[in-house]
Amino acid sequence: MGDRTLGMMRFFQALALGKSPLYCSSEDLADWLDDKSIVALEKAKLLEREEKSVSMSCPACGEHMVELEYRSTVKGVRQYIGRCDDPATGTFDESGNHFSYKIVFENIARFFAKSLGLKEGVQEHANDLYRLGTVKVHGGVVRCFLLFSDTLPKHKNLFEESSKSASTIVINPFTAPISFIDSVTTVDPTELITISGKTITFNKELFNQAAEKVLGQNFYQNGTLYVRGNSIASFNEGTREDIVLSFISSPDRINKSVSYKDILAHYNMTSASVVRSGKKAFGADQWCHQLMSDVRSKCTDKTRHLVDIAIHSSGKKSQENGLIFVSRG
């Protein structure tokens, strides 16, 4: 493990001990990170330099924390005045380029969301927890959270509830003796981040590997519907559910939108019975909506929501015009 990775580990561990916004001195940062890492974080606007004052160990007595107040800059060197609790030291002058920094957790969350290409916008759930958004990976949808503290068990229900609508990745620098359901996993932010020179880059390959782990595979085979690799419902051969699920999950249609009209036309050609789509009561859209309701009815209460992970409506909101069977979700 490189020195910079260790430095980022110390940085995130320090964040876990505080609350946003967190204030620290240049001395604190120097204990966690090397100079180039500090510059990279400043460049990415993850560190906000505060110019007015800085807290540090008293340079006069070395025993007390003091607040240095910035007064001026002389020949590029900043001038401060400080006051020590030790009467023998009292008020003193200090020269040097000392700074304090403000770290806003939401700015870090937004940086992660933008770097990973996540959509929907960052939302704060708690002072230490942010929902970063969603991203499509391998045809499936993944939702991401960034958790700064070592409170994974506290939020377990939230993450597992989230995974019902989208597989979930929790970015968190701590390991915990906790097991999640298969659709939730964790990733260490220090493994996602690489600092080269003064630039921060993200390990997208590692992120995609985590996504593949939680997405699982959706498919329809021999009359059984599988979501995330698990069997959730079975259908008799030749039923309309069997005919349609086989059609929209076929190799040349999976992960593609299939119109309601094409679905109904295929069923009419395959089935012995013909649905008269010309009648309003049997329009292709209503027929497909009823079909999906019947598919869900074959599932248990605990697995019914999984149907919507594998089979999505296509088209604009309130103007759906087809179905998509996604291979991962």
Q: Which residue has the tokens 């292709």?
A: 284
| N- to C-terminal Cα separation, the chain | 33
Average pLDDT taken over every residue of the chain: 85
**pLDDT score of 82:** 84
Residue 97 one-letter amino acid: N
Instruction: Compute the distance between CA of residue 42 and CA of residue 247 in angstroms, rounded to an integer.
Output: 53
Confidence of residue 133 (pLDDT cuts 50, 70, 90): very high
**Percentage of the chain lying above the pLDDT 90 cut:** 31
Confidence of residue 277 (pLDDT cuts 50, 70, 90): low
**pLDDT score of 52:** 64
Residue 8's alpha-carbon distances to 14, 188, 236, in angstroms, are 10, 11, 55
Residue 293 one-letter amino acid: S
Highest mean pLDDT among 1-10, 107-116, 263-272: 107-116
| Domain extent listing, the chain | 3-103, 105-215, 219-325
Say which range, 60-64, 122-126, 141-145, has the weakest mean pLDDT.
Answer: 60-64
**pLDDT score of 34:** 86
Phi-psi region of 62 (alpha: psi -120 to 50; beta: other; left: phi over 0): left
Contact 263, 322 (CB under 8 A): yes
Q: Where are the beta strands (DSSP E) in 172-293?
A: 184-187, 193-196, 199-202, 219-221, 224-227, 230-234, 257-259
- In the predicted structure, residue 278 carries a pLDDT above the cut 60: no
**pLDDT score of 2:** 61
- In the predicted structure, residue 132 carries a pLDDT above the cut 90: yes
**pLDDT score of 180:** 76
Q: Cα Rg for the chain, rounded, in angstroms?
A: 28
